[in-house]
Structure 1
Amino acid sequence: MSNFKKHHKLHSKLLISITLCITLTLLVSTTVYYFYYIRVEKEQAFEANHSSLALRSREVINMTSIAQSLAFQMYRSSTLSKLLYYPKPNVYDETAAMSELNNYLNSMPYIESIYVYNPKSDTFYIASSRGQNGLFSKKELADTDIIRVLDHYQDYKPFTPIPRTYPLLSASDSVAGADQASTDITAYTYLCYDAINSNEAMNSAVIVNVSATWMNKEMATNPTSGGTAYILDDQGRLLSGATLADESLNEKEQLWLHTRVKKQETGYFVEDFHGKRSLISYTSQDGLGWQYISVTPYESVIKMASVIRNAMLLIAVVIALAGFVASWLLSRMLYTPIGQIVVHMNSLESEKRNSMYTIRQNILRNIIRGVHLLPAGEEPERLRELGITFQFDKDYRLVLLRIDEYARWQSERGPDLLPYKFAMMNIASEICGQTYQVEAVDIDEDSVLLMLNILDPAEHTDTVLLETLLRQIREACLEYLKLSISLTYSAIASQSERLHLLYRQVQEASMHRFFQGHGCIIDAQNTIEAHAQNAYVYASEKEKKLLDTLLSGHTEDAHGMFKDLLMHMEKYSFSVVQVAISRLMMSVNHAIQHMSERNGFAPESIPELPSAYQLETAQELIEQYQLVFDHVRSSLLEKRNTKQERLVRQINERIEQAYADPDFCLNQIAEELDMSPIYVSRLYKQQTMSTIVDVIQQLRIRKACELLEQTDWSVADVAEQTGFASSSYFHRMFKRSLGVTPTDFRRSKANAQ
């Protein structure tokens, strides 16, 4: 009874200690995971917010480019220029100009309205999708905020969007309009103006109002994290992403906005916002000087981590309670002396030491490799004692099973690979056991050898049954072990002294897996006999052609030649093929190294060149060299593109220098570069999307505009100074490019001043 109590206390303490350790480990791991998940979830929320904000930034910048192009196009329009510069345009000009404005508005659904302002007539010409349309004076204008913007236009950067809100209709409109006057329009306003004069007074202005509703599709609330977006514009205002209204901030919020967000690189932090703990994500300044901010409630960020923490704590409590109860119950039963367990373990260890399996495998390996020879027609007594029943003096054949992709399996499985080989031996013995007397031997690291005693005389002339069984072995290993194997079978022999010769033949034939691929079944006798009839002569001429093609930069053709040259070796003995493959790879590797040194490739950028001994199949070798050839091709292409960019820059510099020469043309440029005019023209257009002739013409027109505006030279003198052969040709080209004659252009500029 005292012995029972003794063991009862021992096991009770043991189980309680284990339970406490498990519970404590769970609590510690829960704490660690909780803080880790919080960090991960903050990173995920930041990445989601940052992606949304960056998308919005790109949209605003793209819209800025569109608005800028539209404004420039309107300034170049001869119809709209009359509204911009004429003090009193006639009704027909106004009608045509308003029609053109409405065409712009209808073709661009994201534009809320377009204003054309003429300070000389103090008139706004408005085309709008809703609200005021037509001609309005400042007093009649509902959008009074735009007057403030125009009066202080120097405060705004050119073509930087101005987020603002303005009323749909003025209060003085009709009753129906007054009912709608409470509706405000939120828009991003783009201001384009002409203020080229001595007092910097505005001569004209084009205002494009882009709908904030259209641009805020991705802005207001991030559906992934529940964050609310804000804009910190170039004026230092924090605006709501949805309404563009100024956001009111307390002193603490103003402080972190100016010290931790404004003009800082992209990042995030946790801080109070409007009285609620929040995750503040922000971007760095974009090209407009704007920053985008997302505010996500911190509770929603860590919601999942809190759920996991509570669940783990509950599990820890349940485990602790269950462990204490189990300790009390099991301690009453587990009182068997530890000594009995030790005795049983010693017995198992003794049985393991006395096992004959290892000895039997070693003896069979020595016999197969020819280290130990058996007397012909005699079965030694020791073999029977070890349980080896294979009859060496009867008809037999060998089957070699090789594990495919052995290096990968060895790195992934390590010591666990040995049970897989035992499983292979069991599967093969089970499938072949009903037809043959089987002995399975673990012969090499990646190989298992089957020794099959022939029971059916038909085997001497027909291998259909054998190959069917080998396919079953292959499919079973693939299905149950997820292991691909290649199989090689020998001819039939009946002398024990031929065993090791037959093994060498099978081993040599199995090397042709290199050409036939993983999962192949190889007839060793046919393979060896076929190869013995072919005397191999190394294809030196093909190798030279391959290297010349590779060095000339035609990597795709070189890869095809490499593949053909490699696969041509399939019909020869593999011992000879190995030497040929090594020579071929060494030559190709030297050629690649030479190309790298000649073209100045960085040594670390060259992929590691493969070795034939590291790869099991020709296809793997071909694919590895495909990667190397592709890298060489991309490196050559990158270097070629750099050379072309340098050539385009050289052409542009030459155009800038010689545009005033009437005889300057494409042929002269090509002659100076010692190149074909057709090649120079095609290359320049591919790189710049413009022809050289057009670029020369545009530069001459631009220079002529400067001289017409800044000097009092005659039109003929301007034409001569800018490279035009005659004043009539200059007159025709100028009008075709700008829509006005040189004289009219000079007069319009003089009137504007």
Structure 2
Amino acid sequence: MFKKFVLKNPYQLFLTILLPFLVSTVLLLFLQSSLLNRNFEKFALNQVYHQQVTDLQNTSQNVSVLEQTARSVSTTAFFDDVIKDLLYTDVGPDDYFKYQNKLQSYKNIYPFLQSIYVYNGEHIHAVPRPEFVYDRNSFDDKGIFTILDDIKNNKSHSIVLRQIPNVLAGISTGAPQSIYVYSYLFFDSQVSSGKVNEAIILNISADWIKQSIQPQSSESGNRIFVISSHGQLLSDDSVHPLLSDLHGQAYIQQINGSKTPAGSMRMDVDGVDSFITYSSTDAFDWKLVSITPYRYIVKDVEKMKEKTYLFVVLFIVGSILLSFYFARRLFVPISMVIQNYNQLELEKRGEYYDRKQEFLRKVIHSRGLLTREYLQNQFHKYAITLDPTGSFLIVLLKIDRFSEFCAKYTRGDRDLLKFGMVNIVTELLAPAYAHECTETGEDQVMILLQVPGMHDPSENRGLALLLQHIQQQTHRYLGSTVSVTCSDTFESISQLNFYYLKTVDLSYYRLIYGHESMIYSEMISVSGRTDEIKYPQERDDELTEALIGGRSENAKQALNEIVAGASSYSYTALNSLFIRLLLLIRHAIEALETNHAMKVDFNFNAYLMKLQKMETVELILTDFFGLFDSLAMELEAKKDNKYMKLLGTVTQIIQRELANPALSLDSIAAEVDLSPAYLGKLFKKHRLVSVADYINNARLEYASHLVVSSKDTITDIMEKSGFSSRSHFFTQFKKVYGITPSQYRTNAKQLG
């Protein structure tokens, strides 16, 4: 198998030798690249995680510093003697400037402060603001009072993200109406009323927090933001607005549910596969979250993967090109050695097969003259597993439609197809029967089966199914059908010749049973029916008369009645019947040629040879029916030709005697020597118009021509056209042309 594959072309030589190596190398490269990609991906994730944890820890430290600074500032201010006056005493308007400058100095020292409020229970002092002192009703930042009145949820030293009115709105162009600030609350924790009476509020700018947590690079798509323990967004985010409730997000739930202060995960965030890092702050119980799209993390890894795949593809292409080069160099010397070996092996195998076939044919035709010892030696020599002393059965496979088979295939192809048929038989019968196949003729293969016991083959259901399967597989794979003939079971191989000849005779009954038939000797009952097939003599007469009369359907019916029941006769009797019928057909053809002066293309000897090659009664009848139809058509054509000549003569008479008023069907019939009735019927059948109407139409056509082309009077034209009555002429002319002859002439002159 390997040698045959190599010899197909020079390229397959190299592929056969180095293909496993090439495939394994490519697989190894792909496996190695996959492992490296996974390791590089893990490395990239670790790098990103550590970088993001560092950034988040730095941000957490900034938040802690902010908290400590705000605590320090608020505590310092609370105990400042000047600011104490604002908390515990009433300050007059004259002293506002001093206290306002004091608060402004705090704001100037700490740039993260957007504004400072001092609240004493009744009034609130705010810097910067248009006014320094406001009561609860006049102060525009109403939200601060809601917070101060709810100390249960807003403890001292806590921070609250909220929106406050922007003091620059209306003053600075483009300034928003409100801004976000983080309000740091400081008040005396010893509050019994539930409301705060003295408090310092430091409003920290949201922009300062934003700058402290902004990612280092915006190209990576990284987002860093702050959330509260309740999942509320406390810093700017490119996707969600401030104060958005994110507690329903899966990754927020996982972060808040985590018991570790820092960690990472890979999840889908807002429809994007992302890598998430989080860390807790020491102040305010905040969580810092960093989200980076996963594709940015593995971007360099993907580029490396593409380069790796490109290298593998180039490696494959280069390997194939090298394989083609070396294949050309190595093919000739190797293929010559293998070809010579194969040639010797093929010749040896073909010679062995031919010798075995020749021996089997010798056994068939030996008529039992070969000794048992000789047969056993030869059986052993050719690896024949049959036992010469056992019981045998002959199965004869006959190729159907052999003439078409020969026309379709060359002699070599036919031998190859028969060899294929032998292989199909061997494959299907080998598991059940010891057997041998022999090509005993151009259209047949004989199978010699070793069978257990002297049983009728027609009763062997298993064998019948196998033979049907052989027929089906032969048709499916070889495109040809076969008929099967089974012999009787016989006791010794010495009887092979007798039963082979008997089986060949049985196979001729395919003529009756048709193609793809399965014939057993029990089906053929020839006892007492070897005589000639008899049927009434009038059937011969009916067939002959029908053929001579051109009645093909009657002839077919007569032939069917003659052949009916012929299947109960022997093949020889049936063959004699068809020869007799062919002689009868020749007699009918000779009668046709004599009676109608015609020549039929029919050769008795050639048709007889053709008939003997036909394989079934159905084919013979079909061919006879075709011959009958051909004879009927030739006869009809002969009759039609005769009629056309007669009608041509009638037309000439009409044109010649057109001006004669006495011209009629009777006068014409007398001239052609036919009865008026027969001539009128024949004329109307072929011309689709009666003789009288044809004469009348010819006269009117001639008259219209004279009206236009001559200067004769209408009366003269009437007489020249054969009309004897002026009124009849005018009536007929107007009926055909719609106007009188005079008007017809006038119109023709106007048009001309």
TM-score (norm 1): 0.49
**Larger Cα Rg: Structure 1 or Structure 2?**
2
